């Protein structure tokens, strides 16, 4: 059974029979039981890749647009022919969710990171500046969303992809953010939906 997600126009499996409290990515579709995430020895969730794939897309956005569904924890790069490339993403944790339309105003490879004052107030333990590189929390690439503190960026914590743990930025695996970075240009429209 299939239904159409009205906000995006993306075909998805009907989830009516799933337990109300469970999100679609927390349920084993065959057994309809909650999935347990494997953890590392220190208790953190192990990275589990969310495969990048080309999917049908019937939303109103033009090819070349990025559409982010924070409730799905997916990013869609709209292609011609009513298709999109779908990526798994990490999104803002409770209290840091947002929606709206922005555009990419700059792009950086292996970007430096300077936490904004608001973040330093919440987390005074953070460094004041960190040079780009594999240990940098912005990962391999960053696309800056004009008029905001937010970015679409890579991550040195791939286990957070599919989670709501950021301060509002959209996180991707370094492999996926590099793929997206090569496809988009400055000026690309980004639509974020809850």
Q: Which of 107, 141, 153, 171 is catalytic?
A: 153
Catalytic-residue membership of 177 = no
One pLDDT digit (tens) per residue for the chain, 194 residues: 333 343 444 433 332 333 333 333 333 333 334 434 445 555 544 455 689 999 999 899 999 999 999 999 999 999 999 999 999 999 999 999 999 999 999 999 999 999 888 888 989 998 899 999 988 999 999 999 998 989 999 998 899 999 999 999 999 999 999 999 999 999 999 999 98
Helix/strand/coil for 176: helix
Give the residue among 111, 94, 104 at the shortest CA–CA distance from 194: 94
| CA-to-CA dists, residue 5 to 15, 99, 144, 162, angstroms | 11, 17, 28, 19
Q: Where do the domains of the chain lie, and which CATH numbers do they carry?
A: 47-193 (2.40.440.10)
pTM, entire model:
0.74
Catalytic-residue membership of 129 = no
Q: Which of 169, 172, 184, 190 is catalytic?
A: 169
């Amino acid at each position: 059974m299939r239904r159409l997600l009205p906000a995006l126009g993306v075909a998805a499996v009907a989830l009516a029979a799933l337990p109300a409290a469970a999100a679609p990515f927390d349920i084993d579709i065959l057994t309809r039981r909650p999935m347990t995430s494997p953890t590392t020895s220190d208790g953190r969730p192990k990275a589990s890749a969310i495969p990048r794939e080309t999917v049908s897309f019937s939303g109103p956005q033009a090819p070349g647009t990025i559409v982010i569904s924070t409730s799905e924890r997916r990013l869609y790069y709209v292609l011609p022919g009513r298709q999109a490339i779908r990526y798994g993403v990490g999104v803002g944790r409770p209290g840091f969710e947002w929606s709206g339309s922005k555009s990419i105003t700059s792009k950086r490879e292996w970007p430096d990171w300077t936490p904004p004052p608001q973040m330093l107030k919440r987390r005074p333990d953070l460094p004041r500046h960190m040079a780009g590189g594999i240990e940098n929390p912005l990962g391999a690439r960053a696309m800056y969303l004009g008029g905001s503190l937010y970015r679409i960026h890579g991550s040195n914590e791939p286990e957070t992809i599919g989670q709501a743990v950021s301060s509002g930025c959209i996180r991707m695996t370094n492999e996926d953010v590099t793929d997206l970075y090569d496809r988009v240009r400055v000026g690309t429209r980004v639509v974020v939906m809850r």
